[in-house]
Every structure is written in C-alpha cells, then in structure tokens.
Structure 1
Amino acid sequence: MSTRAAAIAVASTLSMLALPGSATAVESKMPFIRIAELEIDPAQLEAFKAAIAEGVEAAVRIEPKVLALYAVAERERPTHIRVFEIYADEQAYAQHIQTAHFRKFFESTLPMVVSRRLIDTVPVVLGAKP
C-alpha cells in the first residue's frame, strides 16, 4: 500500500469515529502536499526565478485553497530548486493546474527545466505561525 493510500485509509478509519455525517469533513481536511524537485538550465535561472515568483504570487492571491507555495534553491547548487506545495485537498491541486496563471508558468518554463521530479507526500507534522 502506498504511503498516500495508507494516509487515506487512516483518515477513513478516523472518519468512522467522528460524528454521523462528518466522514467527508474529516477526509476533506487532509491537505495535498507535493514537493517538486527541479533542475533549471543555468543560462535561464533568472528567467525561471521571475516566472515562478509571478506564478506563486498569483496562485496564493487568487486561489483560496492554495495554502502555501515555497520555492527554494540549494545553497551549493542554485539551479536545483525545490518547490513545497500545500493545497487544501487533492481537488484544489487539480483545480490549480488548470488555472491560466499555472498554465502560463508551466508552458513558459518548460524549456528552462532540465529535470523534474514530483513527490507526493503525507503530512506527519505541519507547524506554522498565523
């Protein structure tokens, strides 16, 4: 069983312990979290940074179910970018990748990306200040 499937199974089990009629509320509260590992063509790094800054700003401002988007570069390898994405649920992610601002970002940066690895994760502990 995949880690995501295991987490969904746990959420489903927990939902059975909830009040009647609240199972979907428990399941829908599981955020969808993905880490994107990107390697960017060094000659296009600045253009990529500008594009991702624009895309992140638009997504966070416009989409209420985009909870957080963080893009960071490795200190010793600045062309290796990691994007930490948190959405309210998997449906929010599906909606996000259909937006005009995401399509613009994806299509404009496609030739800049040397490699891309998408990692779906399961929350263990999430902490943030309001």
Structure 2
Amino acid sequence: MSPIPVVRMAELEIAPETLESYRALLIEEIEAAVALEEGVLSLSAVSIRDNPNRIRILEVYATQEAYEVHLRTPHFFKYKSGTADMVTSLRLIDVDPIIMRAKS
C-alpha cells in the first residue's frame, strides 16, 4: 500500500495595498518548497480574476510527515512571518483527491 498524500486547499484574502509584496513572498516560498523538499509534490497558487486579492493555493504533500516537515522549513517560516500582516482571512480546507494528473 502506498502512502496517502495530504491534499489541502488554502483560501486567503490579502489586504489589497500589500498584494504585490504578498505575491512576491508567495512565489519565493513555493519555488523553494518545490525545489528543496522531496515531500512537496505540488503547490499551485491562483487568484480570482475579478478579485485578485483572493488567493487560492492547492497543496499536495507525499505524506502527513512531509506536510509537517514543510511547516518547519526556513522558507515557510519566512513566508508566514513576512505575510502575517498582509493576510486578512485564511481558511485551510482538507480535501480528498478524486483524480489528479499532470504532464511532466
């Protein structure tokens, strides 16, 4: 039996005046996590077209342990501390994958 991946959806609202700074920190964190963490399978961030301060992130980790390791990394800590005053709303949703495919 293969490990069960951890899949989460994050729904965030960002203070509009901080949006560009937030996006820069988010991009830096996602690039580092995917490059440096074996257990981070996928991180995808999008914004709502008519409300760009509403961000959605789909996170896929190989295991629960990989997710917990991610939360302790320097790049994640930099992102969380750097964006703390920018995020006006955060909702984390645990989801169950139905089908997830990507081209390599």
Counterpart amino acid of residue 102 in structure 1: F
Larger Rg: 1
1:15 equivalent in structure 2: none
The residue identity in structure 1 corresponding to 2:37 is E
Matching residue of 2:77: 103
* Higher relative helix content: 1
State the TM-score, normalizing by the size of structure 1. 0.78
Q: How does 1:1-130 map to 2 (within 5 A)?
A: 26=1, 28=3, 30-130=4-104
* 1: CA distance, partners of 2:81 / 2:67: 17
State the Cα RMSD in Å. Answer: 0.8
Deviation per residue, 1:57-113 (Å, 9 max, x gap): 100010011011011000010000001100001110000000011001001001000
Distance 1:81 1:32 in 2: 20
AA in 1 matched with 2:14: I
Give 3-state SS (helix, strand or coil) of 1:111's partner. Answer: coil
- Structure 2: segments with no counterpart, 5+ residues: none
Separation in 2, partners of 1:76, 1:37 = 15
Between the aligned partners of 2:6 and 2:56, the Cα distance in structure 1 is 16
More contact order relative to length (CA 8 Å, sep ≥ 6): 2
Unaligned runs of 5+ in 1: 1-25
Q: Give SS of 2:80's match.
A: helix
Partner Cα distance (2:2, 2:39) in 1: 15
